[in-house]
Structure 1
């Protein structure tokens, strides 16, 4: 359990199992600490992110939050080893567990979208599938030169509906369809050209500093006005998108029951090509 944040503007550091939380005056940084799994979204990491956001929501001194990762990958998406574990359960228990996993992830994205303070994603390395969705759930994305963005669930026999919905909301259905159906990745420069980044990509050693610059700039407005503006963008304009997230979670869970999902997950874990891949 994360320690309680105290109302102090001074630097304080808190640690969770897969997430580090650091506050420094009006800025806070949440750092995904799961490099050995490339930042994959295990149930524990999802819970840590929920908890970290809840703590920062309550801290009146924090005005903006940066989301980063300690590894060479920003976030590799769903933890396919967890999905494989669910597939090993008795058949009558599997669907409930898949629905629970995707429901919690959908709720995490919605928590990001409803979070009242600016969220800046500092993306270094790949942001894959659900990891891409996490970045899209933030208000601003800063990326390093080596960042890539992909929505390749179909390549594993899965349905990345949450990522597709967020990508459609942020950049339009044309890009969402192209990325979701092919699984092809965007380079950082291509993501910037598509309007997903707030500025051209930077060198990896400048990533956090650049994210801090944007976070600081986002504290210049009135907190009440910023919260109302975020609500207008993500909840009023994005009302349909929020509805789509819940439906997409259900579709993604159902897709996990298919034979192709099992084949895709097993192929990935065995570092092999799935049987349907056109070579």
Structure 2
């Protein structure tokens, strides 16, 4: 049982909702640790292939760290896997989609940046405003944003703390699609469905190779590097099923193993 978030299974899809709308889905330690548990279970469950994370209500995806909780004298704790159990989870090879409804500020934006795709409602706004309250975006935002959109564009957001609307986020390159608010979850699920048409073993191998490869400056070393999820792909039933289904002109029956 969880108090500050919900998790709903839909076949191979897990939909996670941050459920603190009265605090604009800002996260305090109990919420962070609940989310860590949910994503631990997601990572370990072979029948779950893709996750979507969103926020309850239409005002906010997440306003980030619950500063009111902190100001009330409570101790700030973050799980080892990071903010929302995601921002420091560097070994997750399953795709996670952020369905951003409304405000994604500070840690909320960092959660979205830690996801593989960002689908945004047309009223979404993104920012790393930590310097305005004497803090810094240390849950990965200062490193993910420059890697995703380039240093100069990222510094334009980081050094000012300015709010970026969804349409500009797409122009900058960190948003994949902007849709009307009423269509947000349907669009996120459509993206998840497209991913789940592919072999989950291939998806995990691809995700791992992309992110680990980006850590290697030399292209030859990145291409020829050793990736556990790639090794798992070549030992999987999916490697046999894919070509067989193609030859038989039918949809593949992926096993994810």
Q: Of residues 139, 144, 149 in structure 1, which corresponds to 2:116? A: 139
Per the alignment, in what secondary structure is the counterpart of residue 164 of structure 1? helix
Q: 1:84 aligns with which of 42, 60, 71?
A: 71
Of residues 24, 35, 47, the one that matches 1:38 is 24
Partner residue, 1:198:
176
CA distance in 1 between counterparts of 2:216 and 2:14 reads 28
* Greater percentage in helix: 1
Asked if the contact 1:114/1:235 (under 8 Å) is kept, the reply is no
What secondary structure, in the 3-state scheme, does the structure 1 residue paired with 2:82 have? helix
Structure 1 gaps, min length 5: 3-15, 89-96, 241-279
Is this contact kept in 1: 2:64–2:104, CA < 8 A? Answer: yes
1:51 aligned partner: 37
- Spell out the pairing of 1:95-244 with structure 2 (5 A cutoff): 100-101=77-78, 105=82, 108-111=86-89, 113-161=90-138, 162-199=140-177, 201-238=178-215
Q: Which has the higher contact order (CA 8 A, sep 6+)?
A: 1
Q: Deviations over 1:56-113 (max 9, x none)?
A: 1222222111111112210001111233244x8xxxxxxxx55x548663663122x4
With normalisation by structure 1, the TM-score equals 0.71
SS of residue in 1 equivalent to 2:132: helix
The 1:29/1:238 distance shift into structure 2, 3 A limit, reads: farther
Distance 2:206 2:166 in 1: 27
Give the distance between the partners of 2:199 and 2:48, measured in 1 at CA. 13
Gaps of 5+ in 2: 218-257
Q: TM-score of the superposition, structure 2-length normalised?
A: 0.77
Residue 68 of structure 1: aligned partner: 54
